[in-house]
């Protein structure tokens, strides 16, 4: 490319000349706004691929509690933004994408003019605080770029980000009273005591450093920052909103609220004051670090030394084009938006968690240096082991390997000596069931020819799966199941352990450790121990071996399951569908069970207890917004009616994904929902990560070219596919008929062409 | 010594043979218990010289507040221990010595037997918690050794410490239920929200690491620890007493209260359980760090690798003998106890504040490495600039220089770009008036021939004294005084600034910066601006130049003074007594003023507002327990009645210092009261640090030999001194009559002999 530029640059613009060979700009198909309405829990702001900074508008600061009780409305704000809101509180620097519990929202900046307001105010009352009205008409949300007009102040706010630095550009009106507010109290899932401590130093008239420490989902979480303005403020101030702070050490020595450079406390807000000309841009670069203010400064200086906002945006968007361009598809415009927005949502987490020099804060609260890898955090593994990490295994193998190394250092630093369950920012929050890091590790070991230090990784898997005091594991090891009563999720957790154990066995087999293989293959059959053949469902079982009598196959709550009832979880043996089908009464009965799942009418009372999803997220009793059934539509492939897989997956694609703000029927769950879309649209899906097989479905793109890291390309062609043409007549791989319902990982990585011949009839 | 040992060890015990040449063991004269009753605020526990660990029993946990209001009883517990108490709560690792406000008390350990109690209980109710009754009969308090029997449990507790590691030895009875409690909630000046965060990892069955972060007098203070037991516990547990902690991330994954290795929260207590044989010793080494748990582990391994308690105690006490042996005196037994206990109290602070590798947490909350010096903290400079640092300048010059380097790095790290005022643990608490670090620096510059980088130090002094937004400094610079109304201590602070400015001038003169000298000499005369010649007293002055009418020369509160009334503060021009005397009406009137100070009867209402001292700490209107008058008794030397200095200082020595628990009439103030004793007992005193002169008094020892760092010795002989023989007839220096009332620093450092000829008559 550089050579080409040299040849043509003397005469005509590069892009003009190179247009025919330049890859298509993918960014128009990326709509970060998708999923911001209702249950998607995505955020519309700016982020570099897998970036440490997620700089995004927050539309409300709903408290976690009201009148001392959990406030269910807080759930809407897992990502800080709800599309239906009319005001923006400000722009904060960290956000989860698609989670069903939350945290973060660190360091909210808000530009204002006029009378200084240090309280955010309430959305129901105009101008009651520093928040501003806004309209979607002035809002632009692209990959790594966000723009909105703050109507109360006539300020145009623009955001972009490098991996570790948020870049704000605020275009002010003429004002003698222009302010930029730094709110250190603001946070997502913010309850009274969440802020543990904050500390700020005003180093000079353009540079501020500090940190905030919180006790939230991340139990002991500290984020350091360094922020710098393009223009010196002429004065600044702060206010402490702490309930109390006995000794701040002033005794009249200083006026702490004005121009005092040395602040600390639990609840602080600051303001920096400017005078602006009409149309004057004040820019702010805001760098993060998990290690120190020094680390944040280093990130700032190394990643974003200049002040050219447009250039930073251009580079950020170029990086996105490069990442998303790893899969180039031909499809209808709506499908392209769905596809690339999904790929975008898949590529913003896990997030980089180290400074430019490799330093990061570990689980042991010590500072470490990532030695030869990029350290990542935010592992929502109960969700993402299913499709997101397998997707990475194909299109982001290096990052996936680094994520595994990140999990292994987590293991080394963990006081419990366990791999991550659900971890973020050097904390383990233990959310959800199983120990699915072993699935990610096994999937990589099984699919890789050069997984380094596999035995060490396997040892970490074994240690994790042998931690007897972890949720029911002791009993599971002894009895083969978790007794009902000792856990509210005894059945689903037993099933997930069994799948995880099969993963460990697969990795052990690949590594030639056949004793481990034998042990864990045996454990992988434990799913049988919670199956009640008398009713044909998985069912809670008591310590004495009897099944619990009080039991409803449609109920989730307290019935031994989580995010899925017995009807769904009875299908959760991803590692051995054949045996499952036999256990459930053979293929015919199995198909009937599957069919009923998609077609039954779920009584209202069970809908009420279904978590994390809108009514649209439910198809019959199939809940796509929750993950335990993500493999289910592919199970028809093990029956005599594989065409039903093709039909169902297309139906799910169509019903559950839309290129609109409300386009996601349930939480995106750190990209798992999106990764399901990407795989399914490409025509294959990893039913059991840890296996090198992908189950074939029904591609929803005309063509896809996957650029592999090994230099090869793997192309999927779906001849004649369309809304009606969802059935697969024939499949060829590299021109040869593929007479099976799977392709293997090595077939993909070997490059070549997979052609589906589609039809309106099965 | 080693050689001598080899020569004699074959036949007879070393001490027997070497007795005649071995230096006297000073430790019997050190009574750490002195000052632990009432107002001394000293602690009786174990500390190495200037040690980072001060391991001492705490006898109560008085809350800072009762019913939402300040609880005056908390003041008794500034050092955690009150002699009159009947119970010990446990042994914590950090204590101030002699302060009048407080903090610290980190990491309380308490061994118990029987039923587990995790609450400390109350002293008024026997066995209401884990605290234990004790008796002074079983208590031994020596330099770096403390022993007591915990009567409720029949446990003998012994303590010693290296610089950074506390060493506990608990001798248990036979018990199936022996516990060691680690209380992470305990603290001194403990109010509800003081504990910001704590974090603990049980690394294995003998090693625990963690930290605690507090918001107290030290606003943002974190202390890391690593503790190890000599015997594995067989189980452990914890309890969180936090008012709330929304997300601890367990959801039934673990039983957090039992054998769970990964704790965090605001209010935690832990217990480690053992089974013991009769007389079994369980030892615990407890290392601190300001940087990290890794740093604490490094300190533990480098300073105290073994488990020999007796050897650790021996080495610690040998270190004390070496430090205290720098001044060897001949005196009566009580005087020796007073003297060496004072020297001991002078040598336990400031405290080392860095790990063995030089790492320490700075004011900027970043980790730094002390480059070529030992970093110290706990600078109670309003107190200690008067006599403690001048004493160090003679007997601890290297440490004093390192303390100054510590102040200079404080300056570099300070967001306000100021030298320390009252700082501890990487925090500035701004307590008391003035910027007396400049006194310590000037004193060292003036008295040293090789002060390195003096100009940099002087620049720090100038910057500090020019910080216009610091307490009244802007007005002081503009008007020459702080207007009453802008500060409650306008007069005393003006006076202290004037003295400090004189110090800066002295340093500038030594460094040849005569422009600075001239500027600051002029500023040093600002004391004249708050003197009201119409009444002959220093007096609050309003912004318009008039003196405040509402004024009582005996009152302190809100009258423009702190820890001293106008009567006392009118004598506070230490840098120019001659001018002061002229201003106050000449020598005769001045002597009358001085006499009245010592002889008047202070009305009760003024006693009530005199801070920090017992009634015994007041002699007339002279308040020895507060520092502003520490130079006053020496001012007779500038009159025609120097014998009154001799008489008064002996009276003060006799009335204010006793070798008993109640032996200190006021707060020892980090060694300032003790340093006053040492100087005065030696017969000379630094009336104005920053001057190389010492004013002569009346030595209270028969002989003193000061071992100087330069290899020379300076000897003081007081011929015929005694309780009645307090007057100085004649003084010779190196055999020559000394016909002046001062000796100079260079005369001392040159070595030689100063002989006082004492008499019962003046």
Q: Is the predicted pLDDT of residue B175 greater than 50, yes or no?
A: yes
- Band of pLDDT at residue B623, cut at 50, 70 and 90: confident
Q: Is A72 exposed, middle or buried (0-12, 13-18, 19+ CB in 10 A)?
A: exposed
Q: What percent of chain B is modeled with pLDDT above 70?
A: 95
> In this predicted model, what pLDDT tens digit does every residue of A64-117 receive, in sequence order?
888 888 888 999 999 999 999 999 999 999 999 999 999 999 999 999 999 999
Residue of B nearest to A197 (CA): B196
Q: Which pLDDT belongs to residue B574?
A: 98
> In this predicted model, what pLDDT tens digit does every residue of B218-270 receive, in sequence order?
999 999 999 999 999 999 999 999 877 656 555 578 888 999 999 999 999 99
Compute the distance between CA of residue B719 and CA of residue B701 in angstroms, rounded to an integer: 9
Q: What is the mean pLDDT of residues A335-344?
A: 98
Q: What is the mean pLDDT of chain B?
A: 93
> In this predicted model, what pLDDT tens digit does every residue of B385-427 receive, in sequence order?
999 999 999 999 999 999 999 999 999 999 999 999 999 999 9
Alpha carbon separation from B606 to B609, B618, B623 (Å, rounded)? 5, 11, 12
Q: What is the mean pLDDT of residues A338-361?
A: 98
Determine contact, residues A695/A745, Cβ cutoff 8 Å: no
Say whether residue B243 is in contact with chain A using an 8 A CB cutoff.
Answer: yes
Determine contact, residues B320/B344, Cβ cutoff 8 Å: yes
Q: Which pLDDT belongs to residue B206?
A: 98
DSSP-assigned letters across all residues of B639-669? TT-HHHHHHHHHHHHHHHB-SSTT-BSB--T
Q: Is the predicted pLDDT of residue A309 greater than 80, yes or no?
A: yes
* Dihedral, CA of residue A545, residue A551, residue A555 and residue A558, to nearest 10: -60
Cα angle: A573, vertex A575, A581; to 5 degrees: 50
CA-closest candidate to residue B751, choices B689, B703, B706, B719: B706
Extract the tokens encoding A382.
Answer: 């109960």
Interchain contact, B487 vs A252, CB within 8 Å: yes
Interchain contact, B262 vs A415, CB within 8 Å: yes
Q: Between β-strands B622-623 and B262-265, what pairing exists: parallel, antiparallel or unpaired?
A: unpaired
Considering only residues 466 to 485 of chain A, which have any Cβ-Cβ distance to chain B shorter than 8 Å?
469-471
> In this predicted model, what pLDDT tens digit does every residue of A390-423 receive, in sequence order?
999 999 999 999 999 999 999 999 999 999 999 9
Task: List CB contacts (< 8 A) between A193 and chain B.
Answer: 243-246, 266
Q: Is the predicted pLDDT of residue A651 greater than 60, yes or no?
A: yes
Residue of B nearest to A64 (CA): B246
Say whether residue B228 is in contact with chain A using an 8 A CB cutoff.
Answer: no
Compute the distance between CA of residue A154 and CA of residue A151 in angstroms, rounded to an integer: 5
Burial A559-584 (b: 16+ CB within 10 A, else e): bbbbbbbbbbbbbbbbbbbeebbebb
- Band of pLDDT at residue A604, cut at 50, 70 and 90: confident
Extract the tokens encoding A592.
Answer: 């009937």
Q: Which pLDDT belongs to residue B64?
A: 87
Interface test with B, best of A65, A197, A226, A246 (most B CBs within 10 A): A246
Radius of gyration of chain B (CA): 26
Q: What is the mean pLDDT of residues B545-570?
A: 88
Q: What percent of chain B is modeled with pLDDT above 90?
A: 85
Task: List CB contacts (< 8 A) between B467 and chain A.
Answer: none
Extract the tokens encoding A112.
Answer: 């204002």
Determine contact, residues B159/B46, Cβ cutoff 8 Å: yes
Instruction: Name beta bridge partners: A634.
Output: none
Q: Any residues with CB less than 8 A from the CB of A458 and at least 6 apart, and which? A: A441, A445, A504, A507, A508, A511, A513, A516
Q: What is the mean pLDDT of residues A637-641?
A: 98
Question: Which residue has better confidence, A607 or A693?
Answer: A693
Compute the distance between CA of residue B658 and CA of residue B368 in angstroms, rounded to an integer: 42
* Beta-carbon-side half-sphere exposure of residue B297 (alpha carbons within 13 Å): 11
Say whether residue A259 is in contact with chain B using an 8 A CB cutoff.
Answer: yes
CA-closest candidate to residue A424, choices A625, A224, A220: A220
Compute the distance between CA of residue B487 and CA of residue B474 in angstroms, rounded to an integer: 12
Helix intervals (H) in A548-698: 566-569, 577-583, 587-599, 604-608, 642-656, 672-682
CA-closest candidate to residue B523, choices B534, B515, B512: B515
Considering only residues 668 to 727 of chain B, which have any Cβ-Cβ distance to chain A shorter than 8 Å?
none
Q: What is the mean pLDDT of residues B153-165?
A: 98
Determine contact, residues A42/A663, Cβ cutoff 8 Å: no
- Band of pLDDT at residue A596, cut at 50, 70 and 90: very high
* Dihedral, CA of residue A53, residue A58, residue A64 and residue A66, to nearest 10: 170
User: Omega before A350 cis (within 30°)?
Assistant: yes
Q: Which pLDDT belongs to residue A65?
A: 86
Residue B355 phi/psi, 5-degree rounding, is -80, 175
Q: Is B397 exposed, middle or buried (0-12, 13-18, 19+ CB in 10 A)?
A: middle
Residue A223 phi/psi, 5-degree rounding, is -120, 125
Find the distance separating the first CA and the last CA of chain A, reported in whole Å: 47
Q: Is the predicted pLDDT of residue B204 greater than 90, yes or no?
A: yes
Determine contact, residues B145/B284, Cβ cutoff 8 Å: no
CA-closest candidate to residue A183, choices A228, A120, A258: A120
Determine contact, residues B42/B146, Cβ cutoff 8 Å: no
User: Chain centroid to CA A315: how far?
Assistant: 23
Extract the tokens encoding B589.
Answer: 């009137």
Instruction: Name beta bridge partners: A380.
Output: A422
Interchain contact, B470 vs A217, CB within 8 Å: no
Q: Is the predicted pLDDT of residue A2 greater than 60, yes or no?
A: no
Say whether residue A20 is in contact with chain B using an 8 A CB cutoff.
Answer: no
Cα angle: B292, vertex B298, B303; to 5 degrees: 130
Determine contact, residues B350/B404, Cβ cutoff 8 Å: no
Determine contact, residues B88/B130, Cβ cutoff 8 Å: no
Extract the tokens encoding B173.
Answer: 């009875």
- Band of pLDDT at residue A611, cut at 50, 70 and 90: low
Say whether residue B205 is in contact with chain A using an 8 A CB cutoff.
Answer: no
Q: Between β-strands B713-719 and B752-759, what pairing exists: parallel, antiparallel or unpaired?
A: parallel
Say whether residue A24 is in contact with chain B using an 8 A CB cutoff.
Answer: no
- The interface pTM score, or ipTM, of the predicted complex is 0.94
Determine contact, residues A696/A728, Cβ cutoff 8 Å: yes
Compute the distance between CA of residue B586 and CA of residue B593 in angstroms, rounded to an integer: 11
Whose structure tokens read 């009336």?
B687
Say whether residue A119 is in contact with chain B using an 8 A CB cutoff.
Answer: no
Task: List CB contacts (< 8 A) between B471 and chain A.
Answer: 252-254
Q: Is the predicted pLDDT of residue A607 greater than 70, yes or no?
A: no
Task: List CB contacts (< 8 A) between B262 and chain A.
Answer: 414-416, 428
- Band of pLDDT at residue B433, cut at 50, 70 and 90: very high
Q: What is the mean pLDDT of residues A312-328?
A: 98
Compute the distance between CA of residue B407 and CA of residue A760 in angstroms, rounded to an integer: 82
> In this predicted model, what pLDDT tens digit does every residue of A182-238 receive, in sequence order?
999 999 999 888 999 999 999 999 999 999 999 999 999 999 999 999 999 999 999
Say whether residue A487 is in contact with chain B using an 8 A CB cutoff.
Answer: yes
Q: What is the mean pLDDT of chain A?
A: 93
The helix (H) or strand (E) run that includes residue B753 is: strand B752-759
Q: Is the predicted pLDDT of residue B5 greater than 60, yes or no?
A: no
Read off the pTM.
Answer: 0.95
The helix (H) or strand (E) run that includes residue B422 is: strand B422-423
Interchain contact, A199 vs B470, CB within 8 Å: no
Q: Between β-strands B140-142 and B145-150, what pairing exists: parallel, antiparallel or unpaired?
A: antiparallel
Compute the distance between CA of residue B467 and CA of residue B497 in angstroms, rounded to an integer: 12
Q: Any residues with CB less than 8 A from the CB of A691 and at least 6 apart, and which? A: A446, A506, A575
Q: What is the mean pLDDT of residues B315-343?
A: 97
Q: Between β-strands B155-161 and B87-88, what pairing exists: parallel, antiparallel or unpaired?
A: unpaired
Interchain contact, A469 vs B255, CB within 8 Å: yes
Whose structure tokens read 């004493």?
B391
Extract the tokens encoding B693.
Answer: 């002169």
Compute the distance between CA of residue A44 and CA of residue A55 in angstroms, rounded to an integer: 9
Determine contact, residues B757/B731, Cβ cutoff 8 Å: yes
Q: Is the predicted pLDDT of residue A17 greater than 50, yes or no?
A: no
Q: Is the predicted pLDDT of residue B4 greater than 80, yes or no?
A: no
- Band of pLDDT at residue A10, cut at 50, 70 and 90: very low
Extract the tokens encoding A54.
Answer: 């997620």
Q: Is the predicted pLDDT of residue A486 greater than 90, yes or no?
A: no
- Band of pLDDT at residue B10, cut at 50, 70 and 90: very low
Task: List CB contacts (< 8 A) between A203 and chain B.
Answer: 415
Compute the distance between CA of residue A252 and CA of residue B215 in angstroms, rounded to an integer: 19
Compute the distance between CA of residue B353 and CA of residue B104 in angstroms, rounded to an integer: 14
Instruction: Write the residue in A251, A261, A416 that is nearest to B430 by C-beta.
Output: A251
Say whether residue B202 is in contact with chain A using an 8 A CB cutoff.
Answer: yes
Question: Which residue has better confidence, B623 or A341?
Answer: A341
Q: Is the predicted pLDDT of residue A18 greater than 60, yes or no?
A: no
The 3 state secondary structure assigned to A127-160 is: CCCCCEECCHHHCEEECCEEEEEECCCCEEEEEE
Interchain contact, B488 vs A430, CB within 8 Å: no
Compute the distance between CA of residue A372 and CA of residue A363 in angstroms, rounded to an integer: 19
Q: Which pLDDT belongs to residue B613?
A: 63
Distance (Å) from the C-alpha of residue A470 to the closest C-alpha of chain B? Answer: 6
Q: Is the predicted pLDDT of residue B213 greater than 60, yes or no?
A: yes
Compute the distance between CA of residue B524 and CA of residue B509 in angstroms, rounded to an integer: 14
Instruction: Name beta bridge partners: B642.
Output: none
Residue of B nearest to A252 (CA): B471
Compute the distance between CA of residue B118 and CA of residue B112 in angstroms, rounded to an integer: 10
The 3 state secondary structure assigned to B86-133 is: CEECEEECCCCCCCCCCCCCCCEEEEEECCCCCCCCCCCCCCCCCCEE
Q: Is the predicted pLDDT of residue A12 greater than 60, yes or no?
A: no
Q: What is the mean pLDDT of residues A346-359?
A: 98
């Amino acid at each position: 490319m550089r050579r080409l530029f040299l040849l043509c640059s003397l005469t005509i613009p590069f892009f003009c000349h190179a247009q025919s060979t330049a890859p298509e700009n993918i960014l128009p198909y990326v709509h970060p706004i998708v999923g911001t309405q209702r249950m998607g829990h995505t955020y519309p702001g700016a982020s570099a691929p897998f970036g440490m900074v997620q700089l995004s508008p927050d539309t409300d600061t709903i408290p976690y509690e009201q009148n001392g009780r959990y406030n269910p409305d807080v759930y809407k704000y897992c990502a800080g933004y709800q599309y239906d809101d009319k005001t923006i509180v400000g722009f904060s620097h960290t956000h989860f994408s698609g989670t069903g519990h939350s945290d973060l929202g660190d360091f909210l900046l808000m530009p204002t003019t006029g009378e200084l307001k240090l309280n955010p105010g309430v959305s129901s009352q105009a101008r009651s605080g520093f928040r501003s009205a806004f309209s979607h008409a002035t809002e632009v949300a692209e990959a790594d770029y966000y723009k909105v007009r703050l109507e109360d102040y006539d300020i145009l706010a623009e955001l972009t980000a490098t991996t570790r630095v948020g870049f704000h550009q605020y275009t002010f009106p003429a004002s003698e009273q222009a302010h930029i507010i730094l709110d250190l109290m603001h946070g997502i899932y913010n309850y009274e005591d969440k802020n543990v401590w904050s500390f700020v130093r005003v180093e000079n008239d353009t540079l501020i450093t500090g940190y905030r420490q919180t006790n939230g989902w991340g139990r002991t979480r500290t984020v350091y920052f360094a922020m710098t303005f393009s223009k010196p403020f002429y004065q600044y101030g702060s206010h402490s909103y702490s309930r109390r702070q006995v000794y701040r050490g002033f005794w009249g020595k200083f006026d702490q609220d004005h121009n005092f450079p040395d602040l600390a406390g639990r609840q602080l807000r600051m303001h920096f004051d400017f005078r602006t000309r009409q149309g004057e841009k004040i820019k702010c670069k805001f760098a993060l670090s998990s290690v120190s203010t020094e680390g944040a400064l280093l990130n700032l200086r190394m990643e974003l030394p200049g002040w050219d906002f447009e250039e930073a945006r251009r580079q950020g968007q170029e990086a996105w084009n490069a990442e998303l361009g790893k899969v180039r598809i031909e499809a209808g415009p709506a499908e392209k938006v769905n596809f690339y927005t999904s790929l975008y949502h898949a590529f913003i987490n896990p997030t980089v968690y180290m400074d430019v020099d490799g330093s990061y804060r570990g689980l042991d609260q010590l500072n470490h240096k990532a030695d030869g890898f990029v350290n990542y955090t935010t592992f929502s593994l109960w969700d993402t082991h299913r499709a997101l990490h397998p997707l990475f295994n194909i299109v982001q193998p290096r990052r996936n390997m680094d994520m595994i190394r990140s999990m292994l250092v987590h293991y080394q630093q963990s006081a419990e000596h366990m791999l991550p369950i659900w971890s973020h920012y050097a904390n383990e929050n233990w959310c959800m069931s199983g120990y699915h890091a072993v699935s990610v590790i096994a999937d990589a070991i099984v699919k890789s020819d050069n997984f380094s230090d596999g035995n060490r990784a396997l040892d970490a898997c074994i240690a994790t799966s042998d931690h007897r005091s972890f949720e029911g594991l002791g009993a599971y090891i002894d009895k083969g199941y978790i007794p009902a009563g000792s856990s509210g999720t005894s059945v689903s957790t037993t099933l997930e352990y069994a799948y995880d154990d099969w993963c460990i066995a697969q990795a052990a087999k690949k590594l030639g450790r056949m004793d481990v293989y034998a042990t864990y293959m045996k454990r992988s059959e434990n799913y049988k121990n919670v199956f009640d053949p008398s009713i044909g469902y998985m069912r809670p079982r008591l310590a004495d071996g009897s099944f619990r009598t009080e039991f409803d196959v449609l109920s989730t709550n307290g019935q031994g399951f989580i995010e899925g009832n017995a009807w769904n979880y009875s299908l959760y043996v991803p590692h051995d569908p054949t045996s499952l089908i036999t256990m459930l009464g053979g293929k015919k009965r199995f198909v009937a069970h599957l069919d009923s799942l998609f077609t039954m009418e779920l009584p209202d009372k069970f809908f009420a207890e279904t978590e994390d999803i809108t009514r649209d997220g439910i198809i019959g009793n199939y809940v796509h917004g929750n993950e335990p059934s993500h493999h289910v539509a592919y199970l028809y492939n093990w029956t005599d009616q594989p065409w039903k897989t093709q039909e169902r997956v297309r139906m799910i694609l169509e019903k559950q994904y839309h290129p609109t703000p409300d386009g996601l029927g349930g939480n995106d769950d750190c990209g798992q929902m999106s990764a399901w879309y990407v795989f399914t649209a490409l025509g294959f899906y990893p039913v059991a990560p840890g296996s090198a097989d992908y189950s074939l479905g029904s591609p929803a793109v005309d063509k896809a070219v996957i650029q592999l890291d090994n230099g090869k390309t793997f192309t999927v062609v779906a001849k004649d596919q369309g809304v009606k043409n969802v059935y697969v007549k024939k499949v060829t791989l590299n021109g040869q008929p593929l007479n099976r319902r799977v392709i293997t990982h090595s077939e993909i990585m070997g490059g070549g062409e997979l052609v589906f011949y589609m039809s309106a009839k099965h």
